Structure formats: structure tokens, C-alpha cells
Structure 1
Amino acid sequence: MFDSLDEELKAAVCTWESRPGGWQTLQFDSGTWDDADLPALVEWSMASACVAEVSDSDLALVTGLNATGQRWQTWLNLDIAARLLAEEPEDLEDQLLWLETPEFHDAVRHRHAELDAEIPTDAEGAVVWAAASGIRVTPQTVRIEELLRSHETPVENLFSTLLDELGFPPGR
């Protein structure tokens, strides 16, 4: 898959962290990865894959997919995600003014509660994905839930810890 990339795009990819057992962690420059690339990567590699789309080291949307099509997704750093995903009023005129209103803070609390309620399902999806990936260690779902509720930054470290906790061999 990566052999077919043009030279400019190849230059935007670097190895981030090697993991035993042939697992690779790559880092792409912003804007070079698309969600539609994940199924192509899984098909090409015939192995599970997981992507963390990181924003300013404060927020990440993590998506995993295995060869059978089982997919899971979660956010890292719910506080930032809730702010980003808070529903804005349809008649919003000035987003900067909106950010200072009690209504914005209520919308953030509401969205945070929704995201938090999804964590047990997200954690279970991650564990099922890891098991389908051939990982022999049984991850602790409670520990995965704790990680998904973490506010740790940079989220790159949190993502690496998530992979560790899912049973992937620790990086070198």
C-alpha cells in the first residue's frame, strides 16, 4: 500500500514506534490520512489496524478495524472532544461570544456526559478488536475505560499506553 504513495506523501510518513511481533506504528503529517484509508490498509496488510487522528497533542479520535470488518472508535481527552462536539444553536451569529455563554457550558456538559456513557462500549470494542488481532493477553476492560477517561496529554502518549493495555507488545 505504501509503495504506491508518491514521493511527497512518502516524505510525510515516518516510523513512530516499533513493537515486537511485526506491529508497526507510523506517524503521518496532518491531512495525509483519510478515514477511507483504514479499510484499504487492513485489506492490504491482511491484519488489524488502528489510527489515532491527533489534534495539537490534546485530542485524538481513535479508530480500529480488523480483517472481519469489526470496527471501534473512541475519543481520547473527552473534555476537549466535548467542547469540539458541543451542539451549537442554529441561530449562532458569533462563535467566540457563544464560547462564553452558560448555554455553551451546558452543551459541553451534556456532550461530555454522552461521550462518557459510550466509554464502556468503546472499551469493549477495543478489547474485542485486540483479541481479533491475535493478541493473546486479555486486556482489562476497566483499565481501558480509565484510559479513555484520562485527561493526559500529549494524547500520543495516551494512545501508546492504550495499545500497551490492549496487549500489544510494548514499543521500543
Structure 2
Amino acid sequence: MFDNLDEELKATVHAWESRPGGWQTLQLDSGTWDEADLPALVEWSRAPACVAEVSDSSLALVAGLNTAGERWQAWLNLDNAARLLTEEPEDLEDQLLWLDTPEFHEAVRYKRAELDAEIPTDAGGAIAWTAAAGIPVAPQKAEIEELLRSHETFAEDLFSTLLDRLGFPQAT
């Protein structure tokens, strides 16, 4: 997949954490990854793949896909994800004023509760993906759910910890 990239795009791909057992973790510059790239990566590598789209280190949307086409996704840092996903009123005149209203904070609490309710399903999907990836250590669902509810500041750290808790070899 990466062999077919033009040189300019290839320059946006950087090695990140090295993990034993042939697992590769790459970092791509912002704006170079598209959701449609995940199936292509799985097809190219013939192995399950996972991607975390990180936004300003404050949140990430993690998606995994196995070779059977089974997909899962989860947000890291639900508080920030809820703020991002909260819909603005149609008659909004000034976004900055909206952000400081009780209505905004209530809408964020509601969205946060929606995201939190999805965590058991998200954790189950991540665990099934891990099994399909051939990881011999069975992750503890409660630990994955706890991590998905974490308030850790840096989404990159949360993603690395998620891979660790899913049983992937520790990064070196």
C-alpha cells in the first residue's frame, strides 16, 4: 500500500512506536488518512489493522478492521469527543456565545452519556478484533472500558495504552 504512494505523500508517513512480533505503528501527517484507507490497508497487509485519528492530541477516533470485514470504533477522551459532536442549534448566530450557555453544557452531558453507553459495545469490538489479530492474551473487558472512559490528556498516550491493554507486545 505504502509502496504505491507518490513521494510527497510517502514523506508524510513516519515510524512511531516499534512493537515486537512484526507489529508496526505508523504516524501520518494530518489530512493524509481517509476512512476508506483502512480496508485497503487490511487487504494490502492481509492482517487486521487499526487507526487512530487524533485531533490536537485532545481526542481520537479509533477504528479497527479485521480480515473478515468486521469493524469496530471507539472514541478516546469522551469529554472532548462530546464537545465536538454536540450539535449546534440551527438558529445559532455566534458559536462562541453558545459554548458558554447552560444549554450547551447540557447538550454535552447528553452526548457524553450517549458515548458512554456505547463503551461496552466498543470494548467488545476491540476485543474481538484483537482475537482476530491473533493476540494470545485475552484482554480484560473492564480494563478496556475503563481506558475508553479515561480523561487522559493526550490521545496518543491513550491509543498506545489501548494497544497495550489489548495485549499487543509492549512498545520499545
* Structure-1-length-normalised TM-score: 0.98
CA distance in 2, matches of 1:92, 1:67: 44
Post-superposition CA distance 1:121-141 (Å, at most 9, x none): 100100000001111100000
Partner of 2:50: 50
Post-superposition CA distance 1:71-129 (Å, at most 9, x none): 00010000000000012111111111110111101100000000000001100100000
CA distance in 1, matches of 2:157, 2:140: 19
RMSD (CA atoms): 0.6
Over the matched positions of the two proteins, sequence identity in percent amounts to: 78
Partner of 1:67: 67
The count of corresponding residues between Structure 1 and Structure 2 is 172
Partner of 1:166: 166
CA distance in 2, matches of 1:153, 1:106: 22
Aligned partner of residue 21 in structure 1, secondary structure: coil
Partner of 2:32: 32
Structure 1 residues without counterparts, runs of 5 or longer: none
Partner of 1:81: 81
Structure 2 residues without counterparts, runs of 5 or longer: none
CA distance in 2, matches of 1:50, 1:17: 14
Aligned partner of residue 52 in structure 2, secondary structure: strand
Post-superposition CA distance 1:19-41 (Å, at most 9, x none): 11111000000000000000000
CA distance in 1, matches of 2:90, 2:141: 38
Q: Which moved more, 1:84-93 or 1:2-11?
A: 84-93
Q: Which aligned segments of 4 or more residues in structure 1 are displaced greater than 4 angstroms?
A: none
Aligned partner of residue 146 in structure 2, secondary structure: helix
